Amino acid sequence: MDLMEKLELVELPKLEGHTDRVWNVFWNPVSTLPILASCSGNNTVRIWEHNSLSHSWSCKTVLEETHTRTVRSCAWSPSGKLLATASFDGTTAIWQNFGDEFECISNLEGHENKVKSVSWNAAGSYLATCSRDKSVWIWEVLGGANEYDCAAVVNGHTQDLKMVQWHPTMNVLFSCSFDNTINGHSSTVWAISFNAAGDKMVTCSDDLTLKIWETDIAMMHSGEAYAYWTHLCTLSGYHDRTIYSAHWSRDNIIASGAGDDAIRLFADGPSYILLLKKENAHDVDVNSVQWSPGEENRLLASASDDGMVKIWQLATKQ
Amino acid sequence: MVSGLINENPTVYERKERRVRTDSTNSDEFSVEPIDQLEIFDILFFDFAFINIHHIRDIRDPEHPYSLEQLKVLTEDSVEVDDLKSYVRVTFTPTVEHCSMATIIGLSIRVKLMRSLPPRYKIDIRVAPGSHATEAALNKQLNDKERVAAALENPNLVEMVDECLSPSFE
């Protein structure tokens, strides 16, 4: 990417409907038409769809009456056919798309407390969840059937977990926590995101920094030795409030969403620079930012405490 | 006195005399006036609508029939406000270093401000430096909005908070 090009985020019509804060957004990874899921403090999930004829966005369906508390996190399976949703009610629901309707086909119980995050591995064969109860559960998806077996319970964190995220190509799971780990941050780590190659990741924190980490991906693939992740750089001085979300695009732009209502874009190395800052992207805190999966038509979705989901088009200034 | 209280005999201080607000200079109801320190303090201690009929809604201590002001948990100087930046910081002082009620007190202050201030406000709640044994952990918890949101979905906690914020007739 030419760093000299002047970028801007053009706001498309906002997606209104949630009656409480929106915690998380997740693009369907395979759909040819852009499809976005969003989840909220009003215990519901909304599926938004872009209509290419009318160039408009609409809420296709509302997933409700399954979760009885805040839905904190949502994630599409790699096939795009299943949606997993994690809730403060202690359960994780699996929804299947039957053409016009979504049906809850499974409800994973086991955590003793609020579920904070859910993530599918690249093959769609494992699902990870994490909770306020300090544990990470790994669920095995049994072939064909709507069955999920608990394959492992991992206790390692000393505090509330915030997010689990599988590596984009390998079966390695990452988690971050209120206990400040991934090590190096001085306060709660809220999110993790990987670049497409999987040799770098970004973490964001309540300590107002983004940190970039790097590993030897060849060594990681060989499995001969434990591949360490080394700290590459810290982006500090850019954010005024807690950074709740960071997402790495396929063309190497890192987006961040923060408690100062702004969205920022950073370019990947060798020197990490601020490409743009969108002040007042939302009226209040930005909880989640996520790039659309497509190579073209770069879209960024954002979710906020103001109950809004917004779609931004990354464009070059005329 | 019921035994088992965290602080059995708290010192109770005099209520401060209220400064009288003179709003006569500004009669235009559509004009926007910045929110200042005194106003935040008033929000924490009064319900605006009833301010003149002595219907006082002090935030009450979870353990005692006294307000946070009477226990000097809060003073006017506890409140820093920057209306232009839509920012409020409240620094409170628990009555004892090991006060296990400090979380409820902090949560009550946050809830009161959330209900009273425009949503654009960023609110930080802290305990005064050196005033609590687990100061750092407490500050972190009170300012983690996910944990605050989760706490406010807990009916028992909400009941305790509402109790602290409930009207007291004097």
Render A234-288 in DSSP notation, one character per residue.
EE-SS-SS-EEEEEE-TTSEEEEEETTS-EEEEE-SSS-EEEEEETTSSSS-EEE
> Any CB–CB contact under 8 A between B155 and chain A?
no
Q: Which two tokens stand for residue A162?
A: 């915030």
> Any CB–CB contact under 8 A between B145 and chain A?
yes
- Average the pLDDT over A41-48 and give the result: 97
The answer to whether A72 and A115 have CB atoms below 8 angstroms apart is: yes
In which residue are the tokens 């997010």 written?
Answer: A163
Which residue in chain B has the smallest CA separation from A88? B150
Residue B58 has what pLDDT?
62
**Residue A17, CB half-sphere, CA atoms under 13 Å: how many?**
23
Residue to mutate among A39, A67, A69, A286, with most B CBs inside 10 A, is A69
Q: What's the Cα-to-Cα distance from B121 to each of A206, A245, A289, B40, rounded to whole Å?
A: 18, 20, 22, 12
* Domain spans, chain B: 37-165
d(CA A126, CA A137): 10
> Any CB–CB contact under 8 A between B85 and chain A?
no
Residue B18 has what pLDDT?
56
Q: Residue B140 and residue A178: Cβ atoms within 8 Å?
A: yes
The residues, any chain, with a CB within 8 Å of residue B92's CB and separated by 6 or more, are B68, B73, B74, B78, B105, B106, B109, B125, B126, B127, B128
DSSP-based three-state secondary structure for A100: coil
The answer to whether A126 and A120 have CB atoms below 8 angstroms apart is: yes
**Chain B contact set for A178 (CB, 8 A):** 140, 144, 147
d(CA A193, CA A106): 27
Spatial CA neighbour of A188 closest among A208, A202, A167: A208
3-state helix, strand, coil in chain B (%, to 5): 35, 10, 55
d(CA B75, CA B56): 16
Kindly report the nearest CA distance between residue A124 and chain B, in angstroms: 28
ipTM for the predicted complex comes to 0.91
- Average the pLDDT over A111-117 and give the result: 95
Q: Which two tokens stand for residue B106?
A: 């902090």
Across the A:B interface, residue pairs with CB atoms under 8 Å apart total: 36
**Chain A contact set for B137 (CB, 8 A):** none
- b/e sequence B93-111, b meaning 16+ C-beta within 10 Å: bbbeeebebbbbbbbbbbb
Q: Residue A41 and residue B120: Cβ atoms within 8 Å?
A: no
The answer to whether A51 and A58 have CB atoms below 8 angstroms apart is: yes
**Chain B contact set for A206 (CB, 8 A):** 140, 143-144
- Average the pLDDT over A220-246 and give the result: 91
DSSP-based three-state secondary structure for A193: strand
Spatial CA neighbour of B147 closest among A262, A161, A193, A112: A161
- Residue A280: pLDDT band (50, 70, 90) is very high
Q: Which of A132, A259, A284 sits opposite B150 (nearest CB)?
A: A132
- Residue A232: pLDDT band (50, 70, 90) is very high
Residue A144 has what pLDDT?
67
Residue A302 has what pLDDT?
98
Look up the pTM and report it. Answer: 0.88
Q: Residue B146 and residue A116: Cβ atoms within 8 Å?
A: yes
The answer to whether A165 and A119 have CB atoms below 8 angstroms apart is: yes
Residues of chain B falling short of pLDDT 50: 1-2, 22-27, 46-57, 169-170
Q: Residue B149 and residue A41: Cβ atoms within 8 Å?
A: yes
Q: Give the CATH class of B37-165.
A: alpha beta
Kindly report the nearest CA distance between residue B147 and chain A, in angstroms: 9
Q: Which of B120, B145, B149 sits opposite A283 (nearest CB)?
A: B120
> Any CB–CB contact under 8 A between B120 and chain A?
yes
d(CA A304, CA B84): 21
Kindly report the nearest CA distance between residue A273 and chain B, in angstroms: 26
Q: Model confidence over A284-309: pLDDT tens digits?
A: 999 999 999 977 668 999 999 999 99
Residue B25 has what pLDDT?
47
Kindly report the nearest CA distance between residue B85 and chain A, in angstroms: 10
Q: Which two tokens stand for residue B157?
A: 């906690």
Beta bridge partners of A254: A248, A266
Q: How many CB atoms lie within 10 A of CB A311?
A: 22
Q: Residue B153 and residue A70: Cβ atoms within 8 Å?
A: yes
> Any CB–CB contact under 8 A between B136 and chain A?
no
**Chain B contact set for A259 (CB, 8 A):** 122, 145
Which residue in chain A has the smallest CA separation from B124? A241
Which residue in chain B has the smallest CA separation from A115? B150
Q: Which two tokens stand for residue B50?
A: 């009833």
Q: What is the mean pLDDT of chain A?
A: 93
Residue B59 has what pLDDT?
77
Greatest Cα-to-Cα distance within chain A, rounded to the nearest angstrom: 53
Q: Which of B122, B140, B153 sits opposite A88 (nearest CB)?
A: B153
Q: Model confidence over B60-90: pLDDT tens digits?
A: 788 777 888 888 888 878 888 888 889 999 9
